[in-house]
């Protein structure tokens, strides 16, 4: 009998895993459980907020996985795990048996420490940190905002999905506002005192947007404590400072997707501990966790990383099923950020997976140089949509 691998979650992690399991070992029976018929990437979402990419171009369906790669796709939600019985429980499709299970549910939000805000407020105060609808909500609020208004973005504490994401968002909203509502302001209130690619972002902000963007680190009172949804106000610095916004985008603290918690795969911090070579859960045997939900430091939580995890887990599962020795793979992360449609920069890292841990390889990878020409920034900006086309093809087609 063919071994059966079940994958929960059809994002960059899960969809890539399902596809690569079939590519590497066509005899496997691979089942993907994903509630949505179409996946909207978060990556590229800031381009849409900036007004230069259509939301529908960020949409991907599962037809190629099904018809080209032979993955059985079940549009349903996993609701629990029977680890000793090797079964996943679903909302409408009964219990699904597996020999190996991959769990890739992405993130969930933790509103616990933010007084006055909950998941019920996402229409008024969107997070836009999951693809699709939330982006449309935030974009429509920006379109309705008057010239001279204030856009407030509250950036989350580490660890969170896409470390440069909030700052790319501030940049591209500034791009939109500069062209359409130039008297407006952007206030970034941060839980941190520094951020990813900070020097490159600050150089671009000064050059492109003058003083439109103000960034307030935690040590200067940026840390969020309370939100008044009805008054459109946020309170920081233990409630000492009050900020009125016309559009408010709170990106809450994060933890592993809810189903990972329900399946008992998370630790006290809310993330899923794994063996960082095989991606097998440290809690349940024959269950693997990949993508944003797992603890994979020093790798950041990115789509590119989730796609790399997927390829490693596919090999690791096949090796385990065949009784072969595990390999010690090398993986990469590349992350493009745009500060404007024609101003891009990158960070890249190479990682080695050995002795149950992930190690960043010194001297490999790197960051775009500072003080480069406009032509250099424009060339890097051109690579970003090319990266998008390549990675989404690798995940979904
Ligand atoms: P997800 O993409 O969250 O996918 C999880 C899937 O699991 C979802 O489809 C969900 O429906 C499904 N699921 C959840 N619960 C269940 C359940 N109970 N049963 C079944 N299915 C379930 N990354 C980059 O590499 N490059 C970038 O330039 C980049 N830019 C970004 C910009 C922004 C603004 C943001 C917010 C993110 C960006 N990212 C980028 C990060 C990237 O989006 C995430 O790291 C990536 O989506 C993680 O993939 P994942 O598969 O782990 O989780």
126 lines ligand 1 (CB under 6 A): no
39 lines ligand 1 (CB under 6 A): yes
Tell which residue, 234, 251, 265, 267, has the closest CA to residue 105.
265
108 lines ligand 1 (CB under 6 A): no
Tell which residue, 87, 107, 105, has the closest CA to residue 6.
87
Torsion of CA 59, 302, 383, 349, to 10 degrees: -160
Return the SS3 of 301: strand
pLDDT (0 to 100) of residue 236: 97
pTM: 0.98
Distance from Cα 229 to the centre of ligand 1, integer Å:
27
Which is it for the CA torsion 193, 251, 241, 178, positive or negative? positive
Torsion of CA 103, 105, 107, 109, to 10 degrees: -110
The minimum-distance atom of ligand 1 relative to the CA of 15 is 51
Strand order in the sheet with 241-244: 224-228, 233-236, 241-244
Distance from Cα 223 to the centre of ligand 1, integer Å:
25
341 lines ligand 1 (CB under 6 A): no
132 lines ligand 1 (CB under 6 A): no
46 lines ligand 1 (CB under 6 A): yes
Distance from Cα 271 to the centre of ligand 1, integer Å:
15
Pocket test of ligand 1: the residue of 8, 92, 292 to mutate, having most ligand atoms within 8 Å of its CB, is 292
Contact 359, 351 (CB under 8 A): yes
Pocket test of ligand 1: the residue of 81, 161, 307, 337 to mutate, having most ligand atoms within 8 Å of its CB, is 161
Ligand 1 atom 31: residue of nearest CA: 43
Q: How open is the CA angle 33-272-285, to the nearest 5 degrees? A: 75
Residue 321 buriedness (CB in 10 A; 0-12 / 13-18 / 19+):
middle
291 lines ligand 1 (CB under 6 A): yes
Q: Locate tokens 């381009």: which residue?
A: 47
185 lines ligand 1 (CB under 6 A): no
Ligand 1 atom 12: residue of nearest CA: 9
Which string of DSSP letters, residue by residue, matches 267-278? -TTSSB-B-TTT
Distance from Cα 240 to the centre of ligand 1, integer Å:
35
pLDDT (0 to 100) of residue 229: 97
Distance from Cα 41 to the centre of ligand 1, integer Å:
7
Count CB neighbours of 283 within 10 A. 16
The minimum-distance atom of ligand 1 relative to the CA of 169 is 34
301 lines ligand 1 (CB under 6 A): yes
- Distance from C-alpha of 244 to C-alpha of 193, rounded to nearest angstrom: 22
- Distance from C-alpha of 53 to C-alpha of 260, rounded to nearest angstrom: 33
Q: How open is the CA angle 204-57-165, to the nearest 5 degrees? A: 35
The minimum-distance atom of ligand 1 relative to the CA of 13 is 51
Pocket test of ligand 1: the residue of 40, 106, 259 to mutate, having most ligand atoms within 8 Å of its CB, is 106
pLDDT (0 to 100) of residue 157: 97
Pocket test of ligand 1: the residue of 263, 302, 309 to mutate, having most ligand atoms within 8 Å of its CB, is 302
Distance from Cα 259 to the centre of ligand 1, integer Å:
14
165 lines ligand 1 (CB under 6 A): yes
**Cα 338–chain centre separation:** 16
Segment-wise mean pLDDT, segments of 10 residues, the chain, 397 residues: 95 98 98 98 98 98 98 98 98 98 98 95 98 98 98 98 98 98 98 97 97 98 97 96 98 98 98 98 98 98 98 98 95 97 97 96 94 97 97 98
- Distance from C-alpha of 392 to C-alpha of 385, rounded to nearest angstrom: 11
Contact 14, 7 (CB under 8 A): yes
Contact 29, 2 (CB under 8 A): yes
């Amino acid at each position: 009998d063919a071994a059966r691998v079940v994958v929960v979650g059809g994002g960059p992690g899960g969809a890539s895993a399902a596809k690569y399991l079939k590519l590497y070992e066509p005899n496997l029976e691979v089942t993907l459980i994903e509630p949505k018929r179409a996946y909207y990437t978060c990556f590229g979402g800031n381009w849409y907020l900036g007004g230069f990419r259509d939301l529908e171009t960020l949409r991907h369906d599962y037809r190629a996985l099904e018809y080209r790669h032979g993955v059985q796709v079940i549009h349903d939600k996993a609701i629990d795990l029977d680890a000793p019985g090797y079964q996943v429980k679903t909302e409408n499709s009964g219990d699904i048996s597996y020999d190996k299970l991959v769990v890739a549910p992405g993130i969930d939000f933790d509103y616990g420490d933010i007084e006055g805000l909950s998941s019920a407020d996402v229409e008024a105060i969107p997070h836009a940190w999951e693809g699709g609808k939330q982006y449309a909500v935030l974009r429509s609020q920006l379109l309705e905002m008057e010239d001279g208004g204030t856009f407030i973005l509250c950036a989350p504490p580490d660890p969170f999905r896409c470390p440069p994401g909030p700052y790319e968002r501030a940049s591209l909203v500034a791009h939109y506002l500069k062209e359409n509502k130039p008297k407006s302001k952007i206030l970034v209130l941060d839980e941190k005192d520094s951020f990813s690619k900070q020097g490159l972002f600050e150089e671009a902000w000064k050059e492109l947007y003058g003083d439109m963007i103000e960034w307030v680190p935690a040590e200067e009172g940026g840390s969020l404590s309370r939100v008044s949804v009805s008054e459109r106000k946020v309170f920081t610095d233990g409630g000492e400072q009050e900020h009125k916004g016309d559009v408010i985008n709170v990106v809450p603290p994060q933890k592993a997707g809810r189903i990972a918690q329900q399946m008992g795969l998370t630790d006290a911090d809310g993330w899923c501990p794994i063996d960082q070579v095989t991606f097998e859960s440290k809690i349940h045997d024959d269950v693997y966790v990949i993508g944003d939900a797992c603890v994979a430091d020093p790798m950041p939580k990115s789509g590119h990383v989730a796609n790399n995890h997927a390829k490693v887990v596919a090999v690791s599962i096949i090796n385990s099923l065949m009784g072969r020795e595990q390999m010690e793979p090398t993986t990469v992360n590349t992350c493009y950020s745009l500060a404007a449609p024609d101003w891009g920069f990158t960070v890249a890292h190479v990682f080695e997976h050995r002795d149950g841990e992930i190690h960043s390889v010194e001297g490999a990878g790197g960051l775009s140089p500072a003080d480069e020409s406009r032509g250099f920034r424009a060339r890097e900006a051109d690579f970003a949509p090319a990266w998008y086309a390549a990675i989404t093809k690798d995940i979904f087609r």
